[in-house]
Structure 1
Amino acid sequence: MKKLPSLLFCLLTFGGYAQENEEMAVKNTIEAFFKGFHRQDSVQIKKTLAGNVVMQTIAKDEMGNPVVKTQASSDFLKSIVAIPETTKFEEVINSYSIQIDGPMAHAWTPYTFNLDGSFHHCGVNSFQLVKDADKGWQIVYVIDTRRKGGCK
């Protein structure tokens, strides 16, 4: 009976450790995505994406109403590679909030986007990931917001 508390402690500690490892793996996938993004390396970006990834952004129409715009991943990759080398851009992730349930994960990442060393816009990325048995965590859906003000 005296060993039961020790056993429970070990099981709870291991469960927390496993969750932390999965959260780190999700974060690593997103960081690899942005590493490829900043290097304009479409091959590296593709390694983080599921084949059927959905990429969207929430913009505003002429009247200021929210509009969801969808972009094919191939068009996204072409647009990143086409950015001139003289243009310096960086998306800085300010924090991560990661939730995991088995093979599904969600990451909420507020960010600031800088263009040529100056603030351009900010917003939030919402990533949905699925854990593939062979490839690990893969991004299956990303949607973001973009605004010029109200940034933290």
Structure 2
Amino acid sequence: MRIAFSLAFFCLLFNNVSAQGPNPAGLEEQEKVKQVIQTFFDGFHKQDSTIIKSTVADRVVLQTTGKDQEGNTRFREEEFSKFLTSICSIPDSVKFQEKLTSFSIQVDRTMANAWVGYEFWLNDEFSHCGINSFQLVDFDGEWKIIYLIDTRGKEGCLN
């Protein structure tokens, strides 16, 4: 009887421990998420709307926040189609690069968050820096960006 009680106790204990907290993501899933973001920026730098579109869901939200010159918080949303048009219409004479400086990725089941540090360079001169926060969903084995918000500033960059 004592053995049966002990076995039942350990089974309940194990069941409670394994049911707590989010489902830990393997490095493989984190790497898949990172690859989607790197592909997004590959399309961004190539000004290729087809590559960029391949990384996002049918409905994607783009937002930005930062401080204006007076120190007031600004927040705006941008239509994805206008974002694509603005990127693809940058003249060849303008050199731009968003250097990704850090990744922190969390995955739970079909949802992922990626906190990505960046520096933005325009014609080889530092323009601004901040964080891109991506939300992604795994649509039946394919990670897609559903939401992107970024911060922008000239100081206090995270590497």
User: Under TM normalisation by the shorter chain, which class is it?
Assistant: 0.7 to 0.9
What letter corresponds to residue 20 of structure 1 in structure 2? L
- Say which of 21, 28, 34 aligns to 1:27: 34
Of 17, 27, 36, which residue of structure 1 is paired with 2:43?
A: 36
Contact 2:67 2:153 in 1 (8 A): no
3-state SS of the aligned residue for 2:77?
A: strand
Normalised to the residue count of structure 1, the TM-score between the two structures is 0.84
Matched, 1:84 2:103: no
Q: 1:118 to 1:61 in 2, by over 3 A?
A: closer
Gaps of 5+ in 1: 1-14
Judge which range, 51-60 or 73-82, deviates more: 51-60
Aligned to 1:131: 138
TM-score for the superposition, normalised by structure 2? 0.81
Cα-Cα RMSD: 1.6
Between the aligned partners of 2:58 and 2:149, the Cα distance in structure 1 is 16
Q: SS state of the match for residue 78, structure 1?
A: helix
Distance 2:125 2:157 in 1: 14
Displacement, 1:56? 0.3
CA offsets, 1:97-148, max 9 Å, x none?
Answer: 00000000000001000101111100000000000116x1000000000001
What is the one-letter code of the residue matched to 1:118?
E
- CA distance in 2 between counterparts of 1:24 and 1:76 reads 26
Q: 2:155 matched to which residue of 1? A: 149
Paired with 2:31 and 2:102, the residues of 1 have a C-alpha distance of 13
Structure 1 SS opposite 2:97? strand
- 1:98 equivalent in alignment to 2:105: yes
Percentage of matched positions with identical amino acids: 49
Residues 99, 106 of structure 1: 8 Å contact kept: yes
Cα distance in structure 2, aligned partners of 1:146 and 1:90: 15
Asked whether the equivalents of residues 59 and 69 of structure 1 are also in contact (C-alpha less than 8 Å), the reply is: no
Where does the alignment leave 5 or more consecutive residues of structure 2 unmatched? 1-22
Please identify the structure whose Cα radius of gyration is greater.
2
Secondary structure of 2:61's aligned partner: strand
Rounded to whole Å, the distance in 1 between the matches of 2:153 and 2:106 is 25
SS in 1 for 2:92: coil
Give 1:144's aligned amino acid: D
